[in-house]
Each structure stands twice: as C-alpha cells, then as structure tokens.
Amino acid sequence: MRPRLTVHIEKLVLHGFPPAQAQAIARSLERELARLLSQGDRPFTPDQGGDFPRLDGGSISLPHDSNGQETGVSLAQAVYGGLPR
C-alpha cells in the first residue's frame, strides 16, 4: 500500500493577479499539484519527512492573456520543481 501524502498550503501569495482569478488559480494549482504528486515519481517519500515551512518555486513566465487555470498549472509545476530531490 502506498503511503498517504497530505499537502497543506497555508498561504498562497499572488502579486499582480486580479482578485477575481484567485479562486480559479488556487483550484487549478491544487488539481495539477495532486496530479504531479500522484504520478508515482515523487521527489521525496513521506517517511523522509516533508515539512517545508516555505518553498520557493522560483519564477514563471505567463502570456499576458493567460487565464486562472493556465496560471494555476504553471504555479503547480514550479512548486513541484522546487521540491527537494
């Protein structure tokens, strides 16, 4: 049986995005991060510990007309890429 993994994001800080997009960005980030973590290629295992008080996913580039879903996916990929290996 695969160990359970729980992800808790206490605070998501988004600068420069319209407040109306915040929920769409958060939902999309959650879905994409869950998808990436469930692929079986986790960057760490739960038994190694994984309490990260802060995680810097770096920066992302988005087209000017990107929507909340696209933004959330890009953010999730940046967060996933920032996890320790």
Could you give the C-alpha distances from 20 to 1, 6, 17, 25, 47, in angstroms and in order?
A: 40, 27, 8, 10, 38
Determine the Cα–Cα distance for residues 74 and 68; give it in Å rounded to an integer.
Answer: 10
- Is residue 58 within 8 Å of residue 82, measured between CB atoms? yes
Write down the pTM of the prediction.
0.77
Residue 46 has pLDDT above 60, yes or no: no
Position with higher pLDDT, 19 vs 4: 19
Q: Which pLDDT score, from 0 to 100, does residue 77 have?
A: 92
Label residue 40 by pLDDT band (50, 70, 90).
Answer: low
Label residue 3 by pLDDT band (50, 70, 90).
Answer: low
